[in-house]
């Protein structure tokens, strides 16, 4: 019996997504302090953060499989992080209103032997035009807090998006198909490795 896979994230959304394809894992949030993006492109920025998170946890749990991830929203190349307050959340939603933006998730997979696979996934999200009343009502729900881009597509934020191009799970925080491919590239079928039987 293999030791449980480690998810190096405290995100309840990533925990729920991983549980759909992997029953045997434990959550160990990283102690890494996130760096500012600076001039780094969004795809490279999330790869860097995911790698650092997974590496920090792997250093504490050698000989274990570790998955780390980080997600950002980018509009016109500008990274929109988590809003500091409701005012900033409303400003982000106004910026996204009636336009397309990208959601990038970086994923890092570290093997027990130290092997590493790091990639990023991009999904395009198209928002419908939002009125000031729409934005006020959505922000009042409280879903914007702790969410990149100030919305949660898996919640009432689904009403803000007209359509998406790419992986839905990537927008939630963990691109499951890409993660499965990463395991396969490292010689391990994800679903067959850590499931209850």
Both tokens of 3, joined, read: 């030791």
Quick one: DSSP state of residue 98? T
Residue 67 makes CB contacts below 8 A (sequence gap 6+) with 5, 6, 7, 8, 9, 18, 54, 107, 108, 109, 110, 179
Pick from 99, 29, 41: which is nearest to 72 by CA? 41
Q: Is residue 70 among the annotated active site residues?
A: yes
- In the chain the first and final C-alpha atoms are separated, in Å, by 11
Q: One of 24, 51, 70, 133 is an active-site residue; which one?
A: 70
Residues belonging to the active site: 70
């Amino acid at each position: 019996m293999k030791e449980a896979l480690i998810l190096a994230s405290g995100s309840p959304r990533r925990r729920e997504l991983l549980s759909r394809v992997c029953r045997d894992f434990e959550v160990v949030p990283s102690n890494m302090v996130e760096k500012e993006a600076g001039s780094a492109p969004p795809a490279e920025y999330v790869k860097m953060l995911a790698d650092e998170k997974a590496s920090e946890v792997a250093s504490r749990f050698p000989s274990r499989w570790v998955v780390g991830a980080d997600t950002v929203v980018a509009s016109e190349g500008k990274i929109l992080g988590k809003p500091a307050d409701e005012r900033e959340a409303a400003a982000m939603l106004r910026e996204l209103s009636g336009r397309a933006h990208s959601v990038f998730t970086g994923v890092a997979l570290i093997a027990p032997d130290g092997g590493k696979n790091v990639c990023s996934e991009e999904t395009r999200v198209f928002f419908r035009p939002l009125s000031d009343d729409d934005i006020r009502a959505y922000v009042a729900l409280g879903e914007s807090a702790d969410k990149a881009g100030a919305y949660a597509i898996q919640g009432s934020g689904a009403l803000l998006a007209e359509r998406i191009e790419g992986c839905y799970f990537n927008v939630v925080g963990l691109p499951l198909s890409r993660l499965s491919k990463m395991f396969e590239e490292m010689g391990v079928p994800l679903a067959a490795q850590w499931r209850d039987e």
